[in-house]
Structure 1
Amino acid sequence: MIEVIDEFYSAALAQETIRGMIENARGGYRNGGLPVYGYQNVRSTDGNGNQKTRYEINEAEARIVRLIFELYAKGNGLKNILMHLNDHGHRARSGGLWNKATIASIVRNEAYIGWTIFNKKDTKIYGIQFKPRTEWVIIKNTHPPIVAEQLFNRVQALIEERHPTRTAARTTASTYLLSGLMTCDRCGSSYGVTGYGRGKKYAYYNCLTYSKKGKQVCPGHSIRADELDAMVIAKVRERLFSEFNIRQLLNDLNVATRTVKDGRCEQVKDLKRRLADKEARLLRQYEAIESGKIDLSLIGDRLRALKAEQNALREELANFERETMLAPPVITRAIIERYRQEMEQVFIGENVQEQRAFLKNFIEKVVVGESETRIVYYAGGIRIPSGIFPATSEHPRP
């Protein structure tokens, strides 16, 4: 009952809080918090003499906001916009470079047309998730707009048009073989598919820091995904399935089987020693009972426990002795060859997930530099001259 009352009280309090915030917004006042980029908080007094906060346009930042909306309306993607801003010396409020997440937040924010919205985000879901528009509480004309509503709506239409639920989504990074394995030799960031080139015929890997923040942070290096995938497969296949490695694998497996047999022999010796100890302890107890030194009623439980331990050890020993009597399997070249063929079928097949899982057993990472691409194995590594990969200077739209 107390929990029900608490829940009711919390819900009622939340509703009262929302009502107060709505009334505050209708009066043109803010409800606390830092201003979004393009605005600044200014102090004012309401009709009752209470100190309040209003939004005032920060013209230096507002120019950048208008530029972002205009660039998006002209068909530029987030990456092209951030590169334009960073390359032209425009900086975020923190003084740092722009990134996609900040720009994406700006072009979706109704604050720039003078609206204040409550109940827009679903805080129960991890990440930024929006509730259905019918649940939003929209209050218009709460502060001066920075962009025209017509321009804002045109940008929203473009965002919706590019949304993967409306148009065919580009193939995600997870469908590419080296996703999660590649790093940039210059900045250490991950590599991934960042563009599709002219005509969107081929996917290109590039540094994700370059893609998000531009060449001022990292110059990046664009590599055609299918060609790098094929080259890495060829190099890894050549290394893993070489004649030397096949012979080494054959030897290692046979050494391992002999080691297992030797280990079982040691376990048998240990079990026999422990069993002999239990039998000796039982014998001493029986002799003490027969001589009248110990009353059976006093040690009955202990005798039953020792007997149970003795029987368990006998059963375990019998199992180990049966296994030890069997000759260890001999791994032949024919067995290894069948295994190699099966693994190669997985490796050169069309299931990218299986290929990637196979690679991760042997490869720590693939390091991409301007002059070479290096495959780092869990033991050692090999280098691939990057000249075999066609570089591109174009910046595909995100």
Structure 2
Amino acid sequence: MTTCVIYARVSTVKQAEKELPVQSQIDKCKKHAVSLGADIKKVFTDEGISGTSDNRPAFQQAITYCENFDVDYFICWSTSRFARNALEAKLNKRRLANSNTKIAYVSQNIDEGDSGFIYEGILELFDEYYSRQVSQDTKRSMIANAQKGYFNGGFVTFGYQQEPVAGQKKKTRLIPNPLETGTVNRIFELKLASYGGKQIAELMNAEGRLNRGKKWNKTTILELLRNERVVGKVAFGKKGRNGSLPRSEWIVVDSHEPIVSTETFDAVQTMMDKQTNTAVREEGSAKSTRFFTGILKCGKCGQSMKIERAKGATKVYYYYNCGTKKAGLGCENRRINSAIFDPWMVDVICSEVLTERNLKDLLLQLNDLCGSWAKKKRERCTDLIQQIREMERRNSRLYEMLEDASGVYNLQDLAPRLRSNNEAIRKLNTELAIAETEKPPTLEITERDLSELSELLVDIIKTSSNPGKVREFFKTFLHSVEVQDDEIKVKYRPEALLSAHSGIVPSREEWLPLPDSNGGPAD
């Protein structure tokens, strides 16, 4: 028996009003399941959750269900409902593929061949691009809202309370809460007196100055001490594409009445920075922030290039080096500065895959796909009609047998067969009705768009927020990248690219910075 699960999602209530509500998505997915002849095992929904991340409870449950219960189809409305992040989509599709589960989109007719794979990938990239544009528009709106003194919503910081804005429906602003402002100032005074977070929490609890009925702890104290809202400001852009950003890069706007003076707040921040030793350093582990870990190979011995660290005067450097050499088993020292190599190699890969020639080939394939759609639809409808007529002929013979007075047949013998045939006819008619109302795939890309399309796709890949996911994406078509003496050899799956090129990429880059006077890496 063919089986399926259904997944539906909307990000916000407003989105549900403008686009397709969850229930409508589910209804259309159920009709699609009928056309596939699939029995629906379970329906999963996420409401009010963005598709830019795969951290969606129902979505993860749906993927896990497919992995454990041998499901044939994962049905959802469109590529954007599956995910708006292209790399997250690739990873989750690999999970489904490993479970032999196919993805079926209701609103998009995607071929299962090579052209369908590329077409689907472009749809995912544009879904991600659209999502980022929405995110930027939302951020601008929130900044403007805060500058006007309005509260954007969320948790109300200790020391404040919400107040409706006169004449502004649904608008509120933050004002100091007289029952809590004394506690806030007391906490900052204790910090300036060199008390630690745990000590301050114990003193506040002992004095009966509770955190809205709960006891303070070290974490809640430190969070309050770091919160710009106590000086009447709201911070945006605390995180970038590669993790948390330094405070100097945040967008901070004046929004409401302060409780703590700017001088006191800044003094506390300086003190906490020194105590936590927040000197300039690279965030995250070397393994999680390198694009080619596990892909880069030594051209001499064939072993993986491992990450090693080297401390400079003011920062830490990360290098790829031969794993055999690092283990003391021979080979050569082949240190490559990852900060130089990674962006260069990404540029090379993007330029080889996303060339205008490749995109022109893609455009031709997509045009062929759209052009052949009507023919495939006619063939499918003709086949369904033939199946319906065959079942009707079978029924006609059964009725003739019942009407034959000389026969020995009776209704009890023939009724089950009639019921089965009639059910088959009903299903075939339903499938035919759906097939006849399907709309052809739309293609709005012309040859004039090729250059802009190439730039857009490259930009989306290069600005993905998680280097580890970029690495997983590269692994879908790269076997390895080998470091030779004077060239880089890229081994890949030709069938994954539209045009196969030579796997040799000449390199004239100087990977290792000139050493400083002590023989270490220069800054």
1:254–1:331 Cα contact (<8 Å) kept: no
For residues 307 and 300 of structure 1, the distance between their equivalents in structure 2, rounded to whole angstroms, comes to: 10
- Cα deviation for residue 283 of structure 1 reads 0.4
User: Which amino acid counterpart does residue 180 of structure 1 have in structure 2?
Assistant: G
CA contact (8 A) 1:194 1:208 kept: no
Cα separation, partners in 2 of 1:203 and 1:257, compared to 1, 3 Å: same
Provide the secondary structure at the position in 1 that maps to 2:293: coil
Deviation at 1:312, TM superposition (A): 0.8
Q: Which residue of 1 aligns with 2:294?
A: 180
**Residue in 1 that maps onto 2:157:** none
Structure 1: distance between partners of 2:520 and 2:295: 23
What pairs up with 1:157-172 in 2 under 5 angstroms? 171-172=285-286
State the distance in 2 between where 1:238 and 1:341 align.
10
Contact in 1 for aligned 2:307/2:321 (Cα 8 Å): yes
- The answer to whether the Cα contact below 8 Å between 1:268 and 1:320 also exists between their aligned partners in 2 is yes
Q: Higher mean Cα deviation, 357-366 or 297-306? A: 357-366
2:413 and 2:503 map into 1 onto residues whose CA distance is 73
* Paired position in structure 1 for 2:509: 388
Shift of 1:354: 4.0
Higher-RCO chain (CA-CA 8 Å, sequence separation at least 6): 1
8 Å Cα contact 2:298-2:482 kept in structure 1 = yes
Whether the 8 Å CA contact 2:373–2:440 is kept in 1: the answer is: no
Alignment of structure 1 residues 79-118 onto 2, 5 Å: none
Distance 1:222 1:289 in 2: 87
CA deviation profile, 1:150-193 (whole Å, cap 9, x unmatched)? xxxxxxxxxxxxxxxxxx99723121111121111121211131
Query: Is the contact made by 1:221 and 1:391 (CA closer than 8 Å) also made in structure 2?
Result: no
Deviation at 1:367, TM superposition (A): 0.9
Q: Does 1:195 align with 2:316?
A: no
Separation in structure 2 between the aligned mates of residue 274 and residue 189 of structure 1, nearest angstrom? 58
> Which residue pairs with 2:463 in the alignment?
349
Cα deviation code 1:5-49 (max 9, x no counterpart): xxxxxxxxxxxxxxxxxxxxxxxxxxxxxxxxxxxxxxxxxxxxx
1:371 aligned partner: 486
Among candidates 274, 283, 301, match of residue 416 of structure 2: 301
2:366 to 248, 253, 265: 253
For the pair 1:279 / 2:392, whether they are aligned, the reply is: yes
For 2:434, the aligned partner's letter is N
Displacement, 1:308? 0.7
Q: CA deviation at 1:359?
A: 2.7
Conservation of the 8 A alpha-carbon contact between 2:355 and 2:454: no
Shift of 1:254: 1.6
| Residue 312 in structure 1 maps to residue 427 in structure 2 | yes
Q: Distance in 2 between matches of 1:306 and 1:189?
A: 63
Q: Indicate how the Cα distance of structure 1 residues 211 and 270 shifts in structure 2: closer, same or farther if over 3 A, else same.
A: same
* Pair 317,350 (structure 1): closer, same or farther in 2 beyond 3 Å: closer
CA distance in 1, matches of 2:394, 2:480: 59
Equivalent residues of 1:173, 1:179 under 8 A apart: yes
Aligned with 2:442: secondary structure?
coil
Query: Matched residues in 1 for 2:373 and 2:478: separation?
Result: 28
Alignment of 1:121-270 (within 5 A): 171-196=285-310, 198-199=312-313, 201-212=316-327, 214=328, 216-270=329-383
Deviation at 1:305, TM superposition (A): 1.0
Q: Tell me by how many angstroms 1:381 deviates.
A: 4.1
Q: 2:222 maps to which residue?
A: none
Deviation of residue 223 (structure 1)? 0.8
Aligned to 2:137: none
What is the CA-CA distance between 1:239 and the residue it aligns to? Answer: 1.9
Structure 1 residue 383: Cα displacement: 2.8
Q: CA–CA distance in 2 between the matches of 1:321 and 1:169?
A: 55
AA at the equivalent of 2:510: F
Distance 1:363 1:345, change over 3 A: same
Aligned-pair CA distance for 1:358 = 3.8
Q: Deviations over 1:178-217 (max 9, x none)?
A: 11211111212111312326445421111112212x2x53
Q: How many residues align?
A: 226
Aligned to 2:317, the other structure's residue is in SS state coil
Amino acid at match of 2:437: R
In structure 2, how many angstroms separate the alpha carbons of the residues matched to 1:350 and 1:315?
43
Secondary structure of 1:288 counterpart: helix
Displacement of 1:265 after TM fit?
2.6
How do residues 41-56 of structure 1 correspond to structure 2 at under 5 angstroms? none
TM-score, normalised to structure 1, is 0.50
Residue 131 of structure 1 corresponds to none
Q: Indicate the SS of the match to 1:304.
A: helix
Pairing 1:6-25 to 2, within 5 Å after superposition:
none
Which residue matches 1:322? 437
Paired AA for residue 302 in structure 2: G
Q: What is the rounded CA distance, in whole Å, between the counterparts of 1:305 and 1:338 in structure 2?
A: 56
Alignment-mate amino acid for residue 428 of structure 2: L
> Is the Cα contact below 8 Å between 1:368 and 1:374 reproduced in 2?
yes
Tell me the equivalent position of 2:403: 290
**What whole-Å deviation, never above 9, does each CA across 1:289-338 have from its counterpart, x for those lacking one?**
11232211221111111111111111111211222xx4442342377667
Q: Secondary structure at the match of 1:388?
A: coil
> What SS does structure 2 have at the residue aligned with 1:359?
helix
SS class of match (1:196): strand
CA distance in 2, matches of 1:320, 1:197: 64
User: Unpaired segments of 5 or more residues in structure 1?
Assistant: 1-167
CA distance in 2, matches of 1:250, 1:269: 29
Partner residue, 2:100 = none
Aligned partner of 2:35 in structure 1 is none
Cα gap change, 1:170 to 1:342, in 2 (>3 Å)? closer
Contact 1:228–1:389 under 8 Å retained in 2: no
